Chain A
Amino acid sequence: MAHTDVIIVCEAGRGQTESANARLISMGGELARHSGGKLVCILAGHGIAEKAAELSCCADEVFVADSPRHADYSPYAHMYVAQHLVKERQPLAVLFGHTYVGMDLAPRLAARLGTDFASNCFDMAIEADAVYFMRPMYRGRIHAKVAMDYRPMIATIQGGAAEDLPARGPGAITSVDVVPEQGARTRVLRTIAPAPGEIDIAKADVVVAGGRGIGERENFRFVSDLAEALGGVAACSRPLVDMGWCGVDRQVGLSGNTVKPKIYVACGISGAVEHVQGMKEAGMIVAINKDPEAPIFRIAHCGVVGDLNEILPRLAAEIRAAGSRTGAGQD
Chain B
Amino acid sequence: MKIVTFVKHVPTSAVTPRIADAGDRIEEDGLSCEVSEADLYALEEAVHQRSVHGGSVTAVTVGPAKARDALYLAYAKGVDHAIHAVDEIFRGANAHVSVSAAREIVGKQGFDMIFAGIQAEDDLRGRFGVALAEELGIPVITSVTEIRAEPQNGRATVIRELGAGYKQEIEVDLPCLLTIQFGIRPLRYVPVLSIVRARSRKIESVSVEAMAGRPDQLQPEGRFRVVHLSYPEHNTHCELIEGSPDEVARTLAGRLTKASAA
Contacts and interface: CB of A to CB of B under 8 A. Distances in A.
Contacts of B242: 304-305
A306 B131 CA distance: 42
A90 B241 CA distance: 53
Contacts of A243: 183, 186
A54 interface: no
A242 B182 contact: yes
B193 interface: no
Nearest to A112: B134
B131 A137 contact: no
B238 to A, nearest CB: 5
A303 B130 contact: no
Contacts of A188: 168-170
Nearest to B95: A116
Contact of B227 (A132, A303, A326): A132
A139 B124 CA distance: 7
Given A15-B166, A107-B130, A185 B139 contact: yes
A15 B162 CA distance: 9
Interface in B141-192: 141-143, 157, 159, 161-173, 176, 181-183, 186
A190 B169 CA distance: 5
Given A144-B228, A186-B171, A311-B245, A303 B240 contact: yes
Interface stretch (A27-35, A39-47, A170-178, A316-324): A316-324
A254 interface: yes
Contacts of B141: 186
Contacts of B26: 138, 142
A186 B16 CA distance: 40
Interface stretch (B61-69, B199-207, B218-226): B218-226
B256 A263 contact: yes
Contacts of A137: 122-124, 226, 229
Interface residues of B, number: 85
B241 A303 contact: yes
Interface in A139-195: 139-150, 185-194
B246 to A, nearest CB: 6
Interface string A241-256: 1111000110100111
B150 to A, nearest CB: 14
A119 B126 contact: yes
A193 B124 CA distance: 27
A75 to B, nearest CB: 9
A295 to B, nearest CB: 7
B260 A73 contact: no
A136 to B, nearest CB: 6
B30 interface: no
Interface stretch (A2-10, A55-63, A81-89, A95-103): A95-103
Contact of A138 (B95, B121, B248): B121
A251 to B, nearest CB: 8
B162 A13 contact: yes
Given A103-B126, A145-B226, 15 more contacts: A13-B162, A72-B168, A119-B127, A144-B228, A188-B168, A193-B165, A230-B260, A301-B237, A302-B252, A302-B255, A303-B241, A304-B252, A307-B245, A314-B246, A318-B250
Interface of B: 11, 13-17, 19, 26, 95-96, 119, 121-127, 130-131, 134-135, 138-143, 157, 159, 161-173, 176, 181-183, 186, 220-242, 245-246, 248-250, 252-257, 259-260, 262
6 contacts: A144-B229, A242-B183, A244-B186, A298-B235, A301-B236, A315-B249
